[in-house]
Chains A and B, each alone.
Chain A
Amino acid sequence: MTALPALNMGPAANAFRKEVRDWLTKHWTPEKQAAHLRKPFKDRGYDNEFSKLMGRDGWIGVGWPKEFGGQGRSASEQIAFVTEVANSGAPAHAHNTSESIVAQALFLHGTKEQQDQWLPAIRNGECFFALGYSEPEAGSDLAALRTRAVRDGDHWVVNGQKLWSTGGDKADYMWLAVRTDPEAKKHAGISVLMVDLHSPGVTIRPSMALYGKTFSAQFYDNVRVPAKNMVGAVNNGWKVITDALAAERVMIGATRMAGLERAFDHLTEYLKTAVVGGKALKNDPVIRDRIGALAADLEVARQFQIRNARLVEQSKVPIHEAAMGKVFTSELQERLGQAALDILGSGGLLSEDSASAPVGEMEQLLRHSIMGMIGGGTNEIQRNVIAQRGLELPR
């Protein structure tokens, strides 16, 4: 049951949605769900074995071109897929980065050998990447990165430090942006390497982020990476990174959107019957007005999502449109989290691990919203993109 009317994304996406739902009902069983919930919160969402199961049955790479072993599904179908997986709570974080970002880059910039070696492993749910982009002096200004790679025979030798890599402590490989030409203009001297995190010289230091899961700093100390693991030409890494991110933003938005709808559904389901202090919360006019406003915002967020999918299906690359969806949806998550605290009061402070929590995920949703507003390019940078690319305002 969803609080908002179902979106009609077309017959193909609607039929595909049912197919996905049926598979999840069969394989994401109540027993598996209960076992998953017994894990510490920081590990939830990650399950390598479930990733392998999804890979076995063809559910990794549903949007990949068929020539690479994917299902060649449209953007609308992919959104339907992502929504169903998120709604079910099935753990798909482990393979997300590999499937969406690494594979996209390999389609466009990988050699035949790289495609043959890496894509089947990713598709089978056996190859887990994290992103090594940010550094102490390169956050929003990613092109200022300084982690250095120097060629030495058949290898690149990497030295430097990366920060804030989501899932970095759980991954096997890092999709690493490195500087290969320090003399070139900053966007021109970057390359991308696929680095085995078990290599000598790699130190990973996880830290707990506000949302309850880890992100990692990594230190690279004379780490030798086979030259065949460079994706794209030397010093062409900026294009490799941005090409992969364009398509990815749409799917990131779909995942976030599905999570918001799920949280809103749980909140409204609770409010339908909740009685606090002898009063039914659903009769409170302030709560009703707040819920009405949030429902409207959720609908608009869905529409931004659909527009981005349509643009991708028309072979267009949504740049400022994707930025709009990202800004709106991530800030809506913050509003939803804040509203839940206002509505639920003290009970809203309790996490999903508290037995007496009225709607347990709301405080976590609020903590998580910060990540949405700063991760993948801060919302301030996104607003620059909207102004300069969408409105053509001067730099």
Chain B
Amino acid sequence: MSSSKSHQTEGVSDAERGLLRDSVRELLLKRWPPGHAVERSGNAEAIAALWRDLAGQGLASLGADPAEAGLREILLVFEELGRASCPAPLLGAVGANLALAGQHSNAMRAMLEDLHQGKAMVALALGAFDGDGAAGQVETRGEMLSGKISFVEGAQTITHFVILTGRPAGVAVVASDAPGLKIQITPGLAVPPFSELTFDDTPATRLDLSPKALADIALVTRLACAGRALGAAERAFELAVDNAKIRKQFGQLIGQFQAVQHKLANCLISLDGARLALEAAAEARDNDNPDWHVFAASALAFAGPALRAVSIETHRALGAIGYAEEHEAPRHFRRVHADLARFGGVRGARAVLADFTLGPAA
């Protein structure tokens, strides 16, 4: 998408968003049930099969046509992925759609067509636009890439990488089996783990895009991850609330203890605050508000500490019941923290707000 193109979402009503949410939730409950989410998270075949199902529902083309689905719809779907602990490579698809839809290169169009049919899967590397300087970037010489990019999600299962480049500003598409590309898994808090990509004169298909358009794609990516974290935090919170209504200690339901009630009340304030701020940011982008990046930074700066606190507090309310990895809660803890620490995290978002309210630092 070019930066001058309108983001207006035409004709998507709140009721239709509700239907979209219901249909995605229903699909994921069937195809990615909570009882199998942990075991399947490292299963490339299972992820590929799920991706075909999601593509069959039209979700692989999210971001391609803003008149059909804007950022509000994108965030809604990411929330559902977060709830379901589902590692479907939608981030890459949205990034590819935003960057490549409307482009005329045959190779790009073929790749997008495969993506929308569920045959191709994409991982996104923001590189120079990551927001976290430690993520690295690639150098471009003609149609060849060199360099190293870290913290890339979904690299083990996909068919293509879409990489944002700084100089020249644009997008590079690289096949996952391209010569000169090394993929190193880097285990950590995120599940599935991130990967480190090393490019050594790796062939790529390139496309020029304005830095503004690339920054826009990167910001959508950040908000999508925050939406996914919101879904994960909210699901874990629901488990904690349900538990507080049935778990008895000292002869009474733990939900009757004011200490627990206040903890969960604080969580609801944080969850609702994050949701409202994310929705406001998405609506601002969908309405072409020139300050939408400020609303986005507000949402990210708030959601980071707020949702991480929800994640911690829900574990405290669940107690040891929620501490086993086979329980749903730990995977949500991992998701919330992994998504919110990426792309410059809270510090980067606050810096944007400081720039807006105080002007840039000398």
Contacts and interface: CB of A to CB of B under 8 A. Distances in A.
Interface of A: 3-5, 8, 268, 271-272, 280, 282-283, 285, 288-289, 291-293, 295-297, 299-300, 303-304, 306-307, 320-321, 324, 327-328, 380, 382-384, 386-388, 390-395
Contact of B295 (A282, A299, A392, A393): A299
Contact of A295 (B244, B298, B359): B298
Contact of A393 (B245, B277, B354): B245
A299 B358 contact: no
Contacts of B272: 304, 307, 321, 324
B98 interface: no
A282 B298 contact: no
Nearest to B346: A293
Contacts of B351: 288-289, 292
Contacts of B123: none
B261 interface: yes
A250 to B, nearest CB: 15
A296 to B, nearest CB: 4
Given A303-B277, A386-B265, A386-B268, A394 B347 contact: no
B347 A289 contact: yes
B133 to A, nearest CB: 15
A291 B264 contact: no
Nearest to B255: A393
A4 B362 contact: no
Interface string B329-362: 0000000000000000011011111101111011
B276 A292 contact: no
Nearest to A324: B269
A303 B280 contact: yes
B253 interface: yes
B8 to A, nearest CB: 14
A328 B269 CA distance: 7
Task: List 7 tightest A-B contacts by C-beta distance, closest first.
Answer: A292-B350, A387-B261, A296-B301, A303-B276, A299-B298, A288-B354, A5-B291
B258 A283 contact: no
B280 A272 contact: no
Contact of A4 (B260, B269, B357): B357
Given A288-B361, A394-B255, A386 B356 contact: no
B353 to A, nearest CB: 4
Contact of B294 (A4, A304, A327, A328): A4
B352 A292 contact: yes
Given A291-B358, A393-B241, A393-B255, A296 B302 contact: yes
Contacts of A297: 302
Contacts of B255: 387, 393-394
Main secondary structure of the interface of A (DSSP, over half): helix
B289 to A, nearest CB: 7
B169 to A, nearest CB: 26
Contacts of B277: 296, 299-300, 303
B256 interface: yes
A289 B358 CA distance: 11
B313 to A, nearest CB: 13
Residue among A8, A293, A297, A307 with the most chain B CB within 10 A?
A293
B273 interface: yes
Given A272-B359, A295-B357, A300 B262 contact: no
Given A5-B294, A386-B269, A291 B261 contact: no
Residue among B299, B354, B359 with the most chain A CB within 10 A?
B354
Interface string B232-264: 000000000100110000000101101011101
Contacts of B258: 380, 384
25 contacts: A5-B289, A8-B287, A272-B359, A283-B361, A288-B350, A288-B351, A289-B351, A291-B353, A291-B354, A291-B357, A292-B357, A293-B346, A296-B301, A296-B302, A296-B350, A300-B274, A300-B302, A303-B280, A327-B265, A382-B265, A386-B268, A390-B265, A391-B265, A393-B255, A394-B256
B295 A5 contact: yes
A5 B289 CA distance: 10
Contacts of A388: 261
Nearest to A327: B269
Given A288-B358, A292-B349, A387 B276 contact: no
Nearest to A6: B291
A393 B261 contact: yes
A213 B314 CA distance: 41
